[in-house]
Structure formats: C-alpha cells, structure tokens
Structure 1
C-alpha cells in the first residue's frame, strides 16, 4: 500500500482496499435482504461473484485466488 507523506495534497487511492470495501458492502446488502440468520456459502459466492476456478473480484491485484470453502 502506498501512503502519501504528511502534508502532501496528492490524493492516494488503494484500489484493492476500495474493491474490498465494495464487496463488504455487497455482502451487507445481501445479508440484510436474506430470509435466514446467515447467508449460505453458495449465496456468499454468488454475491462475491466467485465461481469455480475464477479469481474473486480484486483478487488478481492482491495476488490472491478464490477463497477456500470450508464444508
């Protein structure tokens, strides 16, 4: 992550962090609309747009691949 020196007027954006924040927001929206108490792992994958063998949104920039499912 790049941090601007103190006193700098240059705006700094961490694109990976912004993508993660957006995904968290999508999960919160899905959770608030869910009928049950928790989202199923399949629904979480759907919201995060994670498919079998496909990298998660923003994962390529972070050097990560889809999360491992715990069954």
Structure 2
C-alpha cells in the first residue's frame, strides 16, 4: 500500500479551484432565489463581475 506523504505532493490547479468555488456560490444563490431563475444582474453580483470590470476600466460598466 502506498500513502501520499504528509505535506503533500498533490498538484493544485488554482484556476479550476476558483471555478469550482464560483460554481458553488452560484448554486447557493440559485437555491436561495425567490424566483425561478437568477437575473443576469444577480449572477454578475455573485460572480463579482462589476468588481473585476471596475479594476480594468476605472469603474465603468
């Protein structure tokens, strides 16, 4: 039997982990939504799109 050493040699894909986290946040928001679907504005809010765009274009949307 082979056991991975403590301290790990596991490779982490930080982009994939970030995508998984965002998907989880969307799932939570969708399950808490009062309507059948999340609005585009709600999705942007969950994904923090305005924050990202604000940093790139000086706050314009």
TM-score in terms of structure 2 length:
0.70
> Matched residue pairs, number?
47
Q: Which residue of 2 aligns with 1:32?
A: 31
- What SS does the corresponding residue of 1:39 show, helix, strand or coil? coil
How far residue 53 of structure 1 moved from its aligned partner, in angstroms, is 6.4
In structure 2, the gaps of 5 or more residues are 55-61
CA RMSD between the two structures:
1.9
Which has more radius of gyration?
2
TM-score in terms of structure 1 length:
0.60
How far residue 52 of structure 1 moved from its aligned partner, in angstroms, is 7.4
